[in-house]
Amino acid sequence: MSFLTKYVFSSDHKVIGIQFLISSLIWFLVGGLMAAAMRWQLAWPWSDMPILGSWLFEAEGGQISPEYYTMLLTMHGTVMVFFVVIPILAGAFGNFLIPLMIGADDMAFPRLNMMSYWFMWPAFACLLLSFASPGFGPAAGWTSYPPLAVFEEAAPGSGLAQTLWLTGLTFVGLSSMMGSINYITTIVQMRAPGMTFFRLPMTIWAMLVTAILQAFALPVLTAAVLMQIADRLLGTCFFIPEGALVGDSLVKGGGGQALLWQHLFWFYSHPAVYIMLLPAMGMASDILSSMSRKPLFGYRPMVYSILSIGGLGFIVWGHHMFVSGMQPLVGAAFMLTTILIALPSGIKTFNWLATLWGGRLQLTTGMLFCMGFIAMFVIGGLSGVLMAVAPVTIFIHDTYYIVAHFHYVLFGGTSLIVIGSIYHWYPKMFGRMMSETLGKIHFFTTFVLINCVFFPMHFLGAQGLPRRYADFTHTDSFAHLQPINEFITYSAFALVAVQVFFIVNFFGSMIFGRRAGNNPWNANTLEWVATSPPPHGNFTSPLVVYRGPYEYSVPGRTQDFWMQTDPEDADGHIAH
Amino acid sequence: MHRFWAVLFSLVPVLGIGLYVLAVVGKGSIGGFSLAGLWLPENANPYTTTIDHLFDLVHIICGVVLGITTSVLAYVIWRYADHAGRKNEAAQYVTHHALLEWIWTVIPGAILVFLGFYQLQVWADNKMNRPMQTIDGNIQAIEPMALVVGKQFGWEVYYPGPDGRLGTSDDLRIENDLTVPVGRPVVLRVEAQDVLHSFAIPGLRVKQDVVPGMTQLVWFQVDKPGTYEILCMELCGWGHYKMRARMKAVAEPLDGIANGSSTEPSSTATPVADEEVKD
Ligand code: HEM
Ligand SMILES: [Cu+2]
Ligand SMILES: [Cu+2]
């Protein structure tokens, strides 16, 4: 095997997973730097940015212009959602873990899997080109609501840049679609003998439900994106109403409905919220159980919760549209379904706490990140309950309360688990351990700073501070909040800076890390049977699964773990 | 070391609830920064006091849940972390507990269902049931007193002209300045001419996205005379942040405007949006 087929155009699910991981982490850094730039503007509006300013914004005299702010905002959201969280969960961890955890030698369709990664590259190219296109990049938010997104007259970025943005999104969609077909098939068809559905680790359940959500929701997004492309290039008017005036001159239009986009977009993007959360919940469950040396509490309710989140996830999209102009009666119905979806998330949280209770907690870095996830997810989930209350949303919709909420879920929740999972599965990926000391410093600083950045945003939101504003200092109502904005910005800079601990640890451990054995955490699931890192084909001998994944600290056994493949039964007899 | 992490995690409930209480009480200062005015701003709209009530109620419920769950988290780290002192204590082998699970399914479920139905009336009052008035013994819906049209980047306000009707050629047009009477229900027609905007008055808890091609109504009542800020709360382009207007709530009669008796608007158009703001 040449270098090229082994590391670049590989059809090995582990290599593809690591490719997804690395490219998403690079985008994570890009998205984080964009956020830092936005925070600069929000703390000290229209001031010259030191050093970088003259280089980045030469045309504007070293300052961020309002157009540039709006573009940063759009790009930050797009990058974080479509280029970081979705690909890192399903693409990186889904790919790496699914075959290993179910005892398969690879994905069901290895070539399709390789394509799903390489379809990300046209998307990367489109996004970079759209960044660089004339009149700034796309600037209609990551939600890209028409008519703003389709009237070039209304926003310079709604020209070529928006077309490229939409094309990029189509490629991301294709990539996810190929992935999800592969994951569903693999999980249903390729489980090792004895691996019944109710012996699957939670990670796999979560990946399965996620893949199903992708498969059913994505076509709607793709259709909507193609409709928006048609509106801009082919002269259709799906989303363009009659008689719109931009700057007092009539623009092309007729007969369309601006709200239609919002329905289609959120029909995908609400399930996508769970696509961005469920795999994290699954991985958290596995790490928490093995690091507490205790069975996962309430395995079946956990599975049913994930299934019901997946199901309900399809009928709550309207909660993004309470004040959009949608019929208020429909809003009331969406409010009731949304309230219900809080329940399974609550049950999961209680089960995690019950898992920890009475355990022997191994406070590894991965475990600390998982516990940090629980704390942050509780905050983000509870503020979600507040937003489900539609009358309250009349006040807090499009304020910083929302910004606080989704960062608590996406950053405090999902991203912490992603980082924790890297610490946890790194030995399997690269055959070496990461430094625990650096890891703990990283956890401590990140955990504290995330709260410094995002907790005060609740107070900004309670004042009604609008999101997506480039400057608050000129308003009557909010100028007094500026010290908080400065505090958030200092914290955000520090938050970006402390990620250096992670970068050093990630790359340094590849060379200097202690070599990992097959099962450094004494965990039960199948990936720990394989060597670290596993060879192409994963397992050297065929596997048989004898029990569920969470048999830790079973009374009467000398070892506190009991691997799923261990043929010995409780009395020490070998099964045949 | 595990004690350290337990203390760190205990800061979540302590600071999370503590800061919330400080903000609600709104007294004192931290490092010269006043804590007053960190929670809901004053509300002058009697239709939405129920919104503030819901906001507080849900925060209290959520605060209790936050306090319990995150304290348990900190406690388990303190009590159950592995360390030299508890080498002989094995983890408990517990896979489920039906009673506990029923409790934490049914109680939160009941609270959520209660919240779901409890809020319906508030929603209906603000988005569905337009205020009524009695004229000559007939109960009828109040007609909009003005039309507000969002456009990049400002609000145009139209009052009925001498004919007393909106949408006719004699309407008065003023930019970024709305005057409404205090002490009685006000209904406005809101529209957008180019892209999406959102008509929002934080001081009254009013918000309605305006959509090109659609006509909508908002209603409120201002009980305190004064000036309120109308903001745009839906991304509408680069100037979104500076799209705002002034709303004056004054005692009746509204010196000439908005009652169709004058052809000359008394308050001249003052485009607040462009003053002091970078273009
Ligand atoms: C370094 C840490 C981060 C900081 C300082 C930060 C800050 C911000 C800011 C200032 C905004 C725009 C607020 C506005 O003007 O409305 C924003 C929007 C957003 N952020 Fe972040 N963010 C960070 C990390 C993340 C992460 C990790 C994710 C997701 C995984 C994320 C997802 C989003 C999304 C989806 C938006 C909405 C964009 C839009 O309104 O179109 N952010 N963030
Ligand atoms: Cu949603
Ligand atoms: Cu706007």
Tell me if residue B125 falls in helix, strand or coil: helix
Closest CA to B80 of A440, A352, A553, A363: A363
B240 contact residues in A (CB cutoff 8 A): 70, 468-470
Distance CA A361, CA B79 (A): 9
pLDDT of residue A53: 64
Of chain B residues 198-257, which have a CB less than 8 A from chain A?
198, 200, 202-203, 205-214, 216, 229, 231-242, 244
pLDDT digits (tens, 9 = 90+) for A491-525: 999 999 999 999 999 999 999 999 999 999 999 99
- Asked whether residue B108 falls in the same domain as residue B194, the answer is no
**A292 interface with B at CB cutoff 8 Å:** yes
Of chain A residues 335-374, which have a CB less than 8 A from chain B?
335-336, 339-340, 342-343, 346-347, 349-351, 353-354, 356-363, 368, 371, 374
Domain of residue A561 covers 522-576
| Rounded average pLDDT over A96-108 | 95
Of chain B residues 258-277, which have a CB less than 8 A from chain A?
276-277
Question: Minimal Cα–Cα distance from A244 to chain B, Å?
Answer: 5
> Is the per-residue pLDDT at B270 higher than 60?
no
CATH of the domain at B218: 2.60.40.420
Domain of residue B214 covers 140-276
- Cα dist. A292→A328, A361, A518, A550, A557 in Å? 47, 4, 20, 11, 17
- Asked whether residue B182 falls in the same domain as residue B257, the answer is yes
Whether A97 is covered by a domain: the verdict is: no
pLDDT digits (tens, 9 = 90+) for A233-271: 888 889 998 878 887 777 777 788 999 999 999 999 999
* Choice between B162 and B37, residue whose per-residue pLDDT is larger: B162
All residues at 6 or more sequence positions from A51 whose CB lies less than 8 Å from its CB, including other chains: none
Q: How many CA atoms lie within 13 A of A27 on its CB side?
A: 27
Distance CA A452, CA A459 (A): 12
Q: How many CB atoms lie within 10 A of CB A465?
A: 24
| Rounded average pLDDT over B27-52 | 83
All residues at 6 or more sequence positions from B262 whose CB lies less than 8 Å from its CB, including other chains: B256
Predicted confidence band of residue A61 (pLDDT cuts 50, 70, 90): low
- Say if residues A154 and A147 touch (Cβ distance below 8 Å): yes
> Is the per-residue pLDDT at A350 higher than 90?
yes
- Asked whether residue B103 falls in the same domain as residue B183, the answer is no
Question: Minimal Cα–Cα distance from A106 to chain B, Å?
Answer: 32
Whether A199 is covered by a domain: the verdict is: no
- Asked whether residue B147 falls in the same domain as residue B264, the answer is yes
Least confident range of A3-7, A297-301, A375-379, B260-264: B260-264
pLDDT of residue A461: 93
* Choice between B83 and A526, residue whose per-residue pLDDT is larger: A526
Predicted confidence band of residue A59 (pLDDT cuts 50, 70, 90): low
pLDDT digits (tens, 9 = 90+) for B54-77: 999 999 999 999 999 999 999 999
- Asked whether residue B6 falls in the same domain as residue B114, the answer is yes
- Asked whether residue B158 falls in the same domain as residue B228, the answer is yes
**Rounded to two decimals, what is the model's pTM?**
0.93
pLDDT of residue A135: 67
Give the distance, in angstroms, between the CA of residue A62 and the centroid of all CA atoms in the same chain: 33
Distance CA A57, CA A54 (A): 6
- Asked whether residue B107 falls in the same domain as residue B153, the answer is no
All residues at 6 or more sequence positions from A147 whose CB lies less than 8 Å from its CB, including other chains: A154, A239, A240, A241, A244, A258, B194, B195, B196, B212
Give the one of B62, B70, B109 whose C-beta lies nearest to A375's C-beta. B70
Domain total in chain B: 2
What ligand has the least distance to the C-alpha of A309? 2
Atom of ligand 1 nearest to the CA of A85: 30
* Percent above pLDDT 90 for chain A: 78
- Near ion ligand 3, which residues have CB within 5 Å? B 197, 232, 236, 240, 243
pLDDT digits (tens, 9 = 90+) for B184-217: 999 999 999 989 999 999 999 999 999 998 999 9
Q: How far apart are the first and last CA of chain A?
A: 38
pLDDT of residue A9: 84
> Which residue type, as a one-letter code, is found at position A85?
V
- Cα dist. B196→A245, A323, B179 in Å? 12, 12, 23
Q: How many CB atoms lie within 10 A of CB A454?
A: 25
Q: How many CA atoms lie within 13 A of B131 on its CB side?
A: 17
pLDDT digits (tens, 9 = 90+) for A11-44: 899 999 999 999 999 999 999 999 999 999 999 8
Distance CA B69, CA B59 (A): 15
Domain total in chain A: 1
- Say if residues A35 and A64 touch (Cβ distance below 8 Å): no
pLDDT of residue B271: 33
Distance CA A241, CA B194 (A): 10
* Inter-chain touch B196–A392, beta carbons under 8 Å: no
All residues at 6 or more sequence positions from A247 whose CB lies less than 8 Å from its CB, including other chains: A153, B152, B194
| Rounded average pLDDT over A178-187 | 96
Atom of ligand 1 nearest to the CA of A411: 27
What ligand has the least distance to the C-alpha of B241? 3
Give the one of A148, A349, A385 whose C-beta lies nearest to B195's C-beta. A148
What ligand has the least distance to the C-alpha of A267? 2
| Rounded average pLDDT over A433-441 | 96
**B43 interface with A at CB cutoff 8 Å:** no
Whether B87 is covered by a domain: the verdict is: no
Whether A565 is covered by a domain: the verdict is: yes
- Asked whether residue B201 falls in the same domain as residue B163, the answer is yes
Predicted confidence band of residue A477 (pLDDT cuts 50, 70, 90): confident
Predicted confidence band of residue A1 (pLDDT cuts 50, 70, 90): low
- Pocket (CB within 6 angstroms of ligand 1): A 32, 35, 38-39, 73-74, 76-77, 80-81, 84-85, 141-143, 403, 407, 410-411, 415, 453, 467-468, 492, 495-496
> Is the per-residue pLDDT at A215 higher than 90?
yes
- Asked whether residue B202 falls in the same domain as residue B120, the answer is no
Least confident range of A43-52, A315-324, A432-441, A445-454: A43-52
ipTM here: 0.92
- Say if residues A527 and A428 touch (Cβ distance below 8 Å): yes
Q: Are strands B33-34 and B216-220 parallel, antiparallel or unpaired?
A: unpaired
Predicted confidence band of residue B256 (pLDDT cuts 50, 70, 90): low
User: Which alpha helices (H) appear in B81-97, and where do they start and end?
Assistant: none
pLDDT digits (tens, 9 = 90+) for B209-254: 999 989 999 999 999 999 999 999 999 998 999 998 999 999 877 7
Give the one of B12, B82, B240 whose C-beta lies nearest to A375's C-beta. B12
> Is the per-residue pLDDT at B279 higher than 60?
no
- Asked whether residue B168 falls in the same domain as residue B114, the answer is no
Predicted confidence band of residue A60 (pLDDT cuts 50, 70, 90): low
> Is the per-residue pLDDT at A57 higher than 70?
no
> Which residue type, as a one-letter code, is found at position A255?
G
* Inter-chain touch A391–B122, beta carbons under 8 Å: yes
> Is the per-residue pLDDT at A364 higher than 70?
yes
pLDDT of residue A512: 93
pLDDT digits (tens, 9 = 90+) for A126-173: 999 998 876 678 889 999 998 899 888 888 778 889 999 999 999 999
Give the one of B15, B51, B108 whose C-beta lies nearest to A391's C-beta. B51
* Percent above pLDDT 70 for chain A: 97
